[in-house]
Amino acid sequence: MKCTKAELLEALHDLVGEAGLKTAPADLDNYGKDWTKVYKPAPVAIVLPANTDEVIALVKFAKRMEVPLVPSGGRTGLSGGAVAPSGELVVAFDRMNKILEFDPSDRLVVCEPGVVTEQLQQFAENEGLFYPVDFASSGSSQIGGNVATNAGGIKVIRYGMTRSWVAGMKVVTGNGELLSFNQGLAKNNTGYDFRHLFIGSEGTLGFIVELTMSLTSPPKDPTVMLLGVENMAATMPVLQACQAKLPLTAFEFFSEKALKHVMAEKGLQRPFDSATNFYALVEFENQSDADLDTAMEVFEHCLESGWVIDGTVSQNLTQAKNLWRLREDISETISQFTPYKNDISVRVSKVPEFLAEVDDLIGKAYPDFEIIWFGHIGDGNVHLNILKPSDLAPESFFEKCAEVSDWVFEIVQRHGGSISAEHGVGLIKKPYLHYSRSKAEIAAMRSIKAIFDPANILNPGKVF
């Protein structure tokens, strides 16, 4: 059953009230997109439900009226998963932003999906605990969106993806049914664990309305060691040496090109005199004086082995934060160049060979394109950023980059990797899903969606 726009807006006003409905052009633009710039947002309206009952009523209404719904969290995604390009109704969870309960014995916190990642991190810190999933957008991303995309970030080598920290959840399916999964249990072997279907499903199976998240003990005195390496192949023995001797919490990398952009934009200083092609950022727990001594031994071993050219170790928290800025400020710094981003993964051991192949391929095809590399080399996740030349129109640039993506994903497939390591599929990666998933797998995914969302109203057109 269809309805006119006026009838739709009147019905939505009755469902969520004036505070929960936005139709101003600026709001439609803001809520109708994520950090991607490929698709122009064109939602019909923005709805901000205040509680689970309103989400249930909204989904039932949308199914009855055949209105497609696009979930919206912090809108920091990079795959177009939260874009509403075709007159959809955006469902934003900004008003569902409360921490509902906490039990220190369980180390579990129950929260609504609109809680900002940094808010949960701060709550954990206030309780003497730690929420370890962390990334550059933690100040604006929301927990519901993190779970819907199975967000990773800079601590995965030690703490895993968001999936590892979801102890329970409540979701509203495309039928308007409220389902509750696992209830925070550590052990629950009663058949299929539906949590893991909804984690990473990008809002295509149901809307997350409540989450039970696990917390852990905070790391002791995180210390940062930044190492300059001439070639990516050298990062593998460096990683092995660090893993063998140090309690690692992160192992990141970035290129000299990335460093130059950050220094120029942010006014930061070069970390040490030598300039090298790549840099490895190692974070470890400094649990005792012995750990710092061990770190220096590892550093000297890497120097003597010729893997590392130069390096530095933070002596306090301020220095550690400044070294992290060299890595964490890259995305914001290069955003002015309209970068075409690819978030991809291969097995850790294959990263150097993979990067070399991609660099060579793009360099020969488009020598005027600047390539910026950074990422989480400790877990095999690298971020390929191609910067738009100033004299090239965005449309032409994205068209050329789409061709590049096919070439890159062929290399990804050959290395047994993934076309999306942590940002999901959305609209942008959808044409390339076959490089990572077989026809049978995609068919199975469609069948699962049909069970939870038979009318195909939840984020339609995303993923497949």
- Report, as an integer, the average pLDDT of 71-87: 92
Residues making up the chain, counted from first to last: 464
Q: What is the CATH number of the domain that holds 310?
A: 3.30.70.2190
**pLDDT tens digit string along 254-292?**
999 999 999 999 999 999 999 999 999 999 999 888 889
**pLDDT category of residue 162 using cuts at 50, 70 and 90:** very high
Maximum Cα–Cα distance across the chain: 74
In terms of Cα–Cα distance, which of 262, 251, 75, 219 is closest to 153?
A: 251
Mean pLDDT score across all residues of the chain: 94
**Residue 429: is it exposed, middle or buried by C-beta count within 10 angstroms (0-12/13-18/19+)?**
buried
**pLDDT tens digit string along 234-261?**
999 999 999 999 999 999 999 999 999 9
67 vs 373: CA distance, rounded Å: 40
164 vs 133: CA distance, rounded Å: 10
211 vs 180: CA distance, rounded Å: 10
Measured CA to CA in angstroms, residue 54 lies from 27, 72, 181, 206 at distances of: 20, 15, 20, 14
**pLDDT tens digit string along 324-343?**
999 999 988 998 898 888 89
pLDDT at res. 402: 85
**Do 317 and 355 belong together in one domain?**
no
Q: In which residue are the tokens 């038979």 written?
A: 454
CB burial string 196-215: b at 16+ within 10 A, e below: ebbbbbbbbbbbbbbbbbbb
**Do 165 and 241 belong together in one domain?**
no
Q: Of 179, 198, 214, which residue is a domain's last?
A: 214
**Do 313 and 350 belong together in one domain?**
no
Question: Quick check: is 245 in a domain?
Answer: yes
Which tokens in the block code for residue 221? 């005195």
Residue 160 lies in domain: 99-214
**Do 62 and 9 belong together in one domain?**
yes
Which tokens in the block code for residue 362? 């793009």
Under 8 Å between Cβ of 56 and 62: no
**Do 77 and 107 belong together in one domain?**
no
pLDDT at res. 60: 97
- Report, as an integer, the average pLDDT of 222-232: 95
**Do 270 and 299 belong together in one domain?**
yes
pLDDT at res. 288: 84
Which tokens in the block code for residue 163? 């999936």
Question: Quick check: is 240 in a domain?
Answer: yes
**pLDDT category of residue 62 using cuts at 50, 70 and 90:** very high
Domain count, the chain: 4
pLDDT at res. 367: 87
Under 8 Å between Cβ of 326 and 226: yes
Q: What is the 3-state secondary structure (H, E, C) of 406-437?
A: HHHHHHHHHCCCECCCCCCCCCCCHHHHHHCC
**Do 203 and 118 belong together in one domain?**
yes
383 vs 191: CA distance, rounded Å: 37
Helix (H, G, I), strand (E, B) or coil at 212: strand
Q: Of 61, 76, 95, which residue is a domain's last?
A: 95
pLDDT at res. 106: 97
**pLDDT tens digit string along 170-181?**
999 999 999 999
Least confident window among 125-134, 199-208, 229-238, 388-397: 388-397
pLDDT at res. 366: 84
42 vs 31: CA distance, rounded Å: 10
- Report, as an integer, the average pLDDT of 48-70: 97
Q: What is the CATH number of the domain that holds 209?
A: 3.30.465.10
Phi and psi of 284, rounded to 5°? Answer: -140, 160
**pLDDT category of residue 1 using cuts at 50, 70 and 90:** low
Query: Helix 5-16 and helix 52-65: axis angle, to 10°?
Result: 160
Measured CA to CA in angstroms, residue 280 lies from 239, 270, 300 at distances of: 9, 14, 15
**pLDDT tens digit string along 405-462?**
899 999 999 999 999 998 899 999 999 999 999 999 999 999 999 999 999 999 999 9
**Do 228 and 289 belong together in one domain?**
yes
Q: Of 185, 214, 243, which residue is a domain's last?
A: 214
- Report, as an integer, the average pLDDT of 188-197: 96
Question: Quick check: is 432 in a domain?
Answer: yes
Q: Within a 10 A sphere around the Cβ of 234, how many other Cβ atoms?
A: 23
166 vs 108: CA distance, rounded Å: 9
172 vs 82: CA distance, rounded Å: 18
**pLDDT category of residue 362 using cuts at 50, 70 and 90:** confident
pLDDT of 2 higher than 80: no
pLDDT at res. 117: 97
- Report, as an integer, the average pLDDT of 195-223: 97
**pLDDT category of residue 185 using cuts at 50, 70 and 90:** very high
